[in-house]
Amino acid sequence: MSYIGRLYDPVLATDLYELTMAASYFREGKKGIATFSLHIRDYPPNRAYFVAAGLASFLEILGDFRFSGDAIDYLRSLGKFDEDFLSYLKSFRFTGSVRALPEGTIFFAQEPLVEITAPIIEGQILETIVMNTFHVETLIASKAARCVAAAGGRGLVDFSLRRTHGIDAGVKTARSSYLVGFLGTSNVLAGRLYGIPVFGTMAHSYITSFDREIDAFMAYARSFPENTVLLLDTYDTLKAAEKAVEVARYLENRGYRLRGVRLDSGDLVELSRRVKDIFVKNGMDYVSIMASGSLDEFALEELIKSGAHIDAVGIGTKLGVSADAPYLDLAYKLVEYEGKPILKLSPGKRTWVGRKQVYRYFDGRGQMSHDVLTLMEDKREGMPLLRDVVINGQILHNPTLDEARANFAEQFSSLPEEYRSIRPDVKYRVEIGEPLLRLEERVAREKLRDQLRG
């Protein structure tokens, strides 16, 4: 098997202790039905919401989650597992159920992103892959949504691949950003895998390979007359803009139009204004101005407030690594076993017991007003957010990327402006249903009493 094949064997993309716990469960005959709940404990700085993403990737993995002969041989070589357990793994199939937020759903701290109900070994073995898959895509989708909000309708393109933490992270960044409204990506692999529009023209190295900047511009225009976007800041941005006017005239004479120019450094506010003036003066107001270079929602907000004349933006490194908030405090916890609610009382890491549902309520204008987190059996009139996606091991429906993108657009339109802010000073109201609160308090009292008894 190739290195890539070994790297992406999902059954081995796990922490060892998931398998050692599973082996102990197996030896002890512990086969009861358990529910594990995935949620984010709290918000990173400057965050007021999250965007659910990663479900499609998880279901793709789950549908073919099998321990191959090579995987079994490797586990045997560790000398930690007996043959009975390895034989169990050979026939491993997920037989449980999954309830999840549809991709593109806006959700909040403490609300379950996913709940998995299955024999405890199955739920335990899935922990690491569940957390890894949902974490990276939800992290990036939430960051990208903030960029969309800051852009104020300007087109955004993902430029992150070269500095993401690996190829898979780059692909998932392209998908997650497109899900929340980016126009597309520079990532050709993501374009192929997900049908995302791909964008890209030239780098500084292309221009410096020619003796003259104008020669580079003309050569590119001859090769791609229908999609010419010129990079202006290799030498002198304003002089390059004058040369771009020459290219635009050349294209006009042949029935084409210069599509745009890109600014990648310098004072983007001043340069964008002056470049725009050059094109307007020459009757070429149609030429779009794109900005790139270490941009994110914070830089975008400042550029727009300062009056930059920018039509589109390439967002790269700071998106792909979610630079200002590079991780989410994501937790996957056992909340029910054999019908009994399970509670963890660790300081700062307490969990909500039992199988749950989240109901969403709206005001008279159709804007989100509040959510209620409660027990699954506590039926309410609000809109339930968690949906059945797997029942008895069978995947019901894996929505397409276009469906997820449409879901986000609808959800985002109903999120009040104060929560979309780049620096929000309010938190969305998530109430705890009375049945859940009573159960939580009762289980907590019982656990504390049991511990005092020794």
Going across the sheet that includes 288-291, the strands are 184-185, 155-158, 312-315, 288-291, 260-263, 229-231
Mean pLDDT of 7-30: 93
H/E stretch holding 291 reads strand 288-291
Query: pLDDT grade, residue 3 (50/70/90)?
Result: very low
For the chain, which residues make up each domain, given as ranges?
3-142+325-453, 153-320
As a whole number, the mean pLDDT across the chain is: 95
Kindly provide the residue ranges of all beta strands, DSSP E only, lying in 236-347, ordered along the sequence. Answer: 260-263, 288-291, 312-315, 330-337, 340-341
Quick one: which of 414, 403, 424 has its CA closest to 178? 403
Two tokens, residue 351 = 């969990």
Cα(267)–Cα(299) distance, integer angstroms: 12
pLDDT in tens, 130-173: 999 999 999 999 999 999 999 999 999 999 999 999 999 999 99
CATH number at 3-142+325-453: 3.20.140.10
What DSSP element (H or E) covers 362? strand 356-362
Q: In 3D, which of 144, 89, 98 has the Cα closest to residue 117?
A: 98
Residue tagged 């990079």 (tokens): 231
Protein fold of 153-320: TIM Barrel (3.20.20)
pLDDT per residue as tens digits for the range 174-222: 999 999 999 999 999 999 999 999 999 899 999 999 999 999 999 999 9
Q: Please state, in angstroms and rounded to a whole number, the distance separating the CA atoms of residues 153 and 257.
A: 23
The structure's pTM equals 0.94
The pLDDT tens digits of the residues spanning 340-364 come to 998 876 666 668 999 999 999 999 9
Judge whether residue 81 has pLDDT over 90: yes
